[in-house]
Amino acid sequence: MSTKQVLQHAACGRTTAWANNDERPELQTLHGRILRVVLLWYLFGLWIIGLASFIGMWLFSGFCVLRSVWSVVQHGGNWDVAIPLPFAVQLYLAVTVLYESYQFLTRDSLHMWPLMRNMARYVFLHYPYFRLNAVVFETREEEKKNEKKQEPEQEKDSDATTDDKDTSDDSGHFDATTAIAAIEENDVTPYVEPNKRALFTFHPHGVLTCGFSFNGAHHMAFKRSECRWISAENLFYFPIMRDILHWMEFSSSTKASMQSIMKTNQNLCLLPGGFEEATIYQRGKHRVYIKKRFGFIKLALQHGYDVYPAYTFGEEYTYHAFPYLERLRLQLNRFRIPGAIFFGIPSCFYMPRSDVDLITVVGKPLHLPRVENPNRDLVKEYHDKYIEALRNLFDNYKGVYAVDPDAKLEHAAAGRSPLWPNNNAVPELQTLRGYVGRRFLLWSLFGLWIFGLGAYIVMWLYSALCVIRWVWTAVQMGWTQATPPPMSVQAYIAFTIVYESYHYVTRDSLHLWPRMRRLARYILLHYPYFRLNVTIFEERELQKQKMQAKEENATNIDMKHLSPAAAIKAVEENDITPFVETGTKNLFAFHPHGALTCGFSFNGAYHMGFERSACRWLSAENLFWFPLVRDILNWMEYSSCAKVNMLKFMRRDQNVSIIPGGFEEATLFQRGKHRLYLKKRFGFIKIALQHGYNLHPVYTFGEEYTYHVFPYLQTLRLQLNRFRVPGILFFGEASCFYMPRNDVDLITVVGKPLCLPRIEHPTKEDVQKYHAQYMEALKDLFDNYKGVYAVDPNATLEIF
């Protein structure tokens, strides 16, 4: 059987030669079933239930103490009338004082308890909980392979069987056959030696660190290692839990604790992703939180440690988790509060599922030099090397060990080049002024849009109801007996009449207010809302690529589209100099609409690239029915997307920007999906042909992650769109539902123009022909840049 066939067979799930603890006879007995779960049930139960009880008791005690003190304050400091504390609270406080006093006095002499760890290792070795748990050391397996090559019999046949036996690849990792044999052998002999200055970094965290615990701390391979297992600092806040962790050679993840251990050259094991990696956990997905984790690299450099990346396949199937409100839960992590909400098996929610192959691969070491004071660039250099090593480790073994051999490692580099700007990490944007500046404009505009329209519609309906009731009573009882509408309704009607009269009289002389748009551009340039927002003009970047190719005498570069390297560089440069000139007869068609047109607004209307364009931005016609909203849109060079407006601007050869998908495209919006409504949109093509415009397909990557939406009743909501009623129900940030999520890279690519001929009376066939060409150009634009700019490089474009 070839290596490729073996790899495919293994990737289907598992080979028949792999161990299956669920089928071992001794584990089917009552004695075996109890011992498989009892230790884990006790440890995880103490962890979950114990901590929850302690926190609950702490909060209750705090409340009782405050209540008692408040009663004294109310009675002028008379302690005789103080509300007494419940006996349970008194007992809790007494035990806490004694315990913390003991811990403070003996903090320098706290001893470990190797017997406890040995017992845990014995139980998990003879009564394993998971279907399979194995630790594979790349270095050990290669040593075994090299020893086999040196055997005399193999040397005799080496010339004849080289192609069959040596199947290792050029990546430095062992081949699929060796990877499968490593699991079949499942070597549990101790391998890690003490005081080797080795730092083992485990990924992913998972929910309750099953890989870190079963295949690390409690695995026989680490028996001789004298490793210190670094755990979350807040676990050491709680009585009993602190002692158990310390007895089992766990230490706090504080910088001081790690430095004290590294000074003694002891081996360390830690989970760099921490609570954040647990928070982003989703069943079946490989997600790690590593892009902002530089501290462990810096400490390793300061003490000259070798860093071993370790990845546990199967961790992603140990629990089910609540996947929503991720941003809010990540905010909780900043206060050292876990943000994972989970359940495992039905009989005991905190126990992981046991029908999992838990396989941890410990990669080859990344040798770091000893640098007492490493600078930021050096730390970043080795951090990038570590991420690359981790990704290579995952990619090389996912075909054998992962349930899905085509799985992608998410967030290892956050799906983005580390050189791309990250506005969320800019220091001046972390201040109060920066926080307000980033949100104020968007909060005002979108708030006016949502609440202003909502209030106006409600007032309109209420006024209509009052007027109808007034007229009806007048018809029945006479005008003298009819109760007039409330003063608020009369004021509303009077204001509407005056406002509409003014607009009717001045409809041909309504002026723009360029200063307002410049203010918006200034704010969004200096206080950008999204993690990254970039507009890339393909035409400009292709000119740069051609110039570079000439300088380097390169002849193998595709000049139709940007190369991946040039596409990445375009984001790194983030060129914001104006590119679109006035009166060049350009029609920019933006996709997708999204929930609230973030790409159209941030990377279009308010972007510096369009500063000199004198572009008219066409928006939904019904937005211009409402007072104030109509004026603000007009001041900022927005106009209604009515046909008469497009014809007016095109007769003047003005640049125009539209969203062809309209309300229907917003209705089809689903988080994480690329969906357009375009197959029935022929009008903009016909008008562009009548005036000979250059038609630019424009696509915004990242728009699909700006909001969460209600995805059901789609047919009904599309029917509402026929009456110009929006059919989308959405929410963004937890703190303000209409604000989009800002942890998004909003990248808009303005494609090369489709130069349309001028046909005064285009036939139906002409329109269909150029409509098909436009759809093809848009698909090409999406397919050529999704690999660089999309969160999912394998995404597909759905066109309705």
Determine the pLDDT at residue 155. 55
Whether 364 and 384 have beta carbons less than 8 Å apart is answered as no
C-alpha 360/C-alpha 314 separation (Å) is 9
User: ω before 204 within 30° of 0 (cis)?
Assistant: yes
Residue 130 CB neighbour total at 10 angstroms = 24
Q: How confident is the model at residue 109 (pLDDT cuts 50, 70, 90)?
A: low
C-alpha 342/C-alpha 435 separation (Å) is 32
Dihedral in degrees, nearest 10, Cα atoms 325, 328, 332, 338: 10
Question: 571 is written with which tokens?
Answer: 């984001």
Tell me phi and psi for residue 203, to 5 degrees. -140, 155
Determine the pLDDT at residue 570. 85
Whether 733 and 796 have beta carbons less than 8 Å apart is answered as no
First and final C-alpha spacing in the chain: 46
Determine the pLDDT at residue 8. 36
Interior/surface letters 492-514, b for 16+ CB within 10 angstroms, e for the rest:
bbeeeeeeeeeeeeeeeeeeeee
Residue range 691-745, pLDDT digits in tens = 999 999 999 999 999 999 998 898 898 898 888 888 888 888 877 888 899 889 9
Whether 157 and 149 have beta carbons less than 8 Å apart is answered as no
Residue range 444-466, pLDDT digits in tens = 888 888 888 888 888 999 999 99
Residue range 762-800, pLDDT digits in tens = 999 999 999 999 999 999 999 999 988 998 888 999 999
Determine the pLDDT at residue 446. 84
- Supply angle C-alpha 284, 280, 324, rounded to 5: 90
Determine the pLDDT at residue 774. 96
Determine the pLDDT at residue 769. 95
Per DSSP, helices labelled H in 636-738 are: 643-651, 662-668, 683-691, 714-721
How many residues are recorded in the chain?
A: 800
Residue range 223-254, pLDDT digits in tens = 888 888 999 888 887 887 888 888 888 888 88
Whether 397 and 312 have beta carbons less than 8 Å apart is answered as no
Q: Does the pLDDT at position 440 exceed 90?
A: no
Mean pLDDT taken over the chain: 84
Determine the pLDDT at residue 110. 63
Question: What are the C-alpha distances in Å from 334 to residues 257, 338, 435?
Answer: 20, 9, 17
Question: 373 is written with which tokens?
Answer: 């004071």
Q: Which amino acid, 51?
A: L
Q: Which amino acid, 644?
A: V
C-alpha 209/C-alpha 340 separation (Å) is 12
Q: How confident is the model at residue 509 (pLDDT cuts 50, 70, 90)?
A: low
Question: 237 is written with which tokens?
Answer: 């806040």
Boundaries of every domain in the chain: 3-13+109-148+189-360+384-415, 512-556+579-791
Q: Does the pLDDT at position 38 exceed 90?
A: no
Q: How confident is the model at residue 279 (pLDDT cuts 50, 70, 90)?
A: very high
DSSP code, position 180 = H
Per DSSP, helices labelled H in 307-431 are: 326-333, 376-401
C-alpha 204/C-alpha 500 separation (Å) is 61
Tell me phi and psi for residue 642, to 5 degrees. -60, 150
Determine the pLDDT at residue 104. 78
Q: Specify the fold of 512-556+579-791.
A: Glycerol-3-phosphate (1)-acyltransferase (3.40.1130)
Nearest to 740 by CA among 534, 436, 529: 529
Worst-scoring range by mean pLDDT, 54-68, 176-190, 290-304?
176-190
The secondary structure of the chain in percent helix, strand, coil, rounded to multiples of 5, reads: 50, 10, 35
Nearest to 40 by CA among 135, 128, 134: 128
Q: What is the pTM of this model?
A: 0.55
Nearest to 666 by CA among 734, 590, 739: 590
Residue range 157-199, pLDDT digits in tens = 545 444 444 444 545 666 777 778 888 888 888 888 888 899 9
Q: Does the pLDDT at position 64 exceed 50?
A: yes
Q: Which amino acid, 310?
A: A
Q: Is 415 left (phi over 0), alpha (psi -120 to 50) or beta?
A: left
Interior/surface letters 344-376, b for 16+ CB within 10 angstroms, e for the rest:
beeeeebbbbbebbbbbbbbbbbebeebeebee
C-alpha 449/C-alpha 734 separation (Å) is 19
Q: Does the pLDDT at position 526 exceed 90?
A: no
Which residues have C-beta within 8 Å of that of residue 531, sequence separation ≥ 6? 422, 423, 424, 742, 743, 744, 745
C-alpha 241/C-alpha 443 separation (Å) is 45
Tell me phi and psi for residue 2, to 5 degrees. -70, 165
Whether 357 and 14 have beta carbons less than 8 Å apart is answered as yes
Determine the pLDDT at residue 694. 94
Q: Quick one: average pLDDT of 380-394?
A: 91
Whether 753 and 694 have beta carbons less than 8 Å apart is answered as yes
Q: Does the pLDDT at position 3 exceed 70?
A: no
Which residues have C-beta within 8 Å of that of residue 576, sequence separation ≥ 6? 525, 535, 607, 608, 609
Which residues have C-beta within 8 Å of that of residue 752, sequence separation ≥ 6? 538, 539, 542, 696, 777
Dihedral in degrees, nearest 10, Cα atoms 626, 629, 633, 635: 110
Determine the pLDDT at residue 171. 54
User: ω before 592 within 30° of 0 (cis)?
Assistant: yes
C-alpha 140/C-alpha 254 separation (Å) is 32
Residue range 633-692, pLDDT digits in tens = 888 888 888 898 899 999 999 999 999 999 999 999 999 999 999 999 999 999 999 999
What percentage of the chain exceeds 70 in pLDDT? 91
Whether 800 and 675 have beta carbons less than 8 Å apart is answered as yes
- What value does the CA radius of gyration of the chain take, rounded to a whole number of Å? 33
Question: 418 is written with which tokens?
Answer: 């580390």
Which residues have C-beta within 8 Å of that of residue 155, sequence separation ≥ 6? 149
Determine the pLDDT at residue 772. 95
> Angle 176-185/138-149 helices, nearest 10 degrees?
100
602 CB-side CA count, 13 A: 34
Whether 741 and 595 have beta carbons less than 8 Å apart is answered as no
Determine the pLDDT at residue 416. 54
C-alpha 347/C-alpha 354 separation (Å) is 12
Determine the pLDDT at residue 10. 36
Q: How confident is the model at residue 555 (pLDDT cuts 50, 70, 90)?
A: low
3-state secondary structure at position 201: strand
What percentage of the chain exceeds 90 in pLDDT? 31
Residue 85 CB neighbour total at 10 angstroms = 16
Dihedral in degrees, nearest 10, Cα atoms 441, 446, 452, 453: 150
Question: 545 forms bridges with which residues in the sheet?
Answer: none
Long-range residue pairs from 570-573, CB within 8 A, at least 24 positions apart, any chain: 570/534, 570/536, 570/541, 571/417, 571/420, 571/421, 571/532, 571/534, 571/536, 571/747, 571/789, 572/417, 572/419, 572/420, 572/421
Determine the pLDDT at residue 652. 92
